């Protein structure tokens, strides 16, 4: 499971011109699900996102988490995080989970993050063509990945 996490002053996502999710200060999380991901990867990544210490403390050091600042999170599904480009110029997405499995794990990630933050977590619409807008603060962008367990033989 992969997440591209951006510290933002605000973020919003639109589908067909309609605003479907919006946050103030917090994290914009683009989430990709691998074909072998399961609940272990979901829980690990949700805890990492909630506890990621990338917000400034009183001395300006990145030392505070989303939990500590009372910030918000916006989660957007993005299977293209598993784009493979070892050959050629057109990405292959064979490592990405099939849509039904990815949707279930994406929704579980959102639920776990909501429980950790004790607040609603807005999202985009899974599988939709989305327009994402944000003001990246810093800029601070972090790549988080929990490698999936290999499939059982």
Residue 112 has pLDDT above 80, yes or no: yes
Average confidence score pLDDT of the chain: 95
Cβ–Cβ < 8 Å for 6, 135: no
Q: What is the mean pLDDT of residues 98-116?
A: 97
Q: What is the mean pLDDT of residues 33-57?
A: 96
pLDDT tens readout for residues 72-98: 999 999 999 999 988 899 999 999 999
Q: Please, what are the domains in the chain? A: 2-130 (3.50.80.10)
Tell me whether residue 78 is one of the annotated catalytic residues: yes
Cβ–Cβ < 8 Å for 54, 6: no
For residue 146, the model assigns a pLDDT of 87
More confident residue, 41 or 153: 41
Q: How many CB atoms lie within 10 A of CB 95?
A: 17
pLDDT tens readout for residues 9-25: 999 999 999 999 999 99
Residue 153 has pLDDT above 70, yes or no: no
Catalytic residue among 30, 78, 109, 126: 78
Pairing of strands 18-23, 2-15: antiparallel
Catalytic residue among 6, 30, 55, 79: 79
For residue 151, the model assigns a pLDDT of 65
Tell me whether residue 126 is one of the annotated catalytic residues: no
Tell me whether residue 80 is one of the annotated catalytic residues: yes
């Amino acid at each position: 499971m992969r997440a591209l996490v951006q510290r933002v002053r605000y973020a919003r996502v639109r589908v067909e011109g309609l605003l479907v999710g919006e946050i103030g200060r917090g994290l914009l999380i683009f989430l990709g699900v691998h074909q072998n991901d399961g609940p272990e990867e979901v829980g690990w990544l949700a805890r990492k996102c909630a506890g990621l210490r990338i917000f400034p403390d009183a001395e300006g050091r990145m030392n505070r988490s989303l939990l500590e600042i009372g910030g918000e999170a916006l989660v957007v599904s993005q299977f293209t995080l598993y784009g493979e480009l070892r050959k050629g110029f057109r990405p292959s997405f064979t490592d990405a989970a099939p849509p039904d499995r990815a949707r279930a794990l994406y929704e579980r990630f959102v639920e776990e993050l909501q429980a950790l933050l004790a607040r609603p977590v807005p999202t985009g619409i899974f599988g939709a063509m989305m327009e994402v807008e944000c003001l990246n603060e810093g800029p601070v962008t972090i790549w988080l990945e929990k490698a999936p367990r290999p499939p059982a033989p």
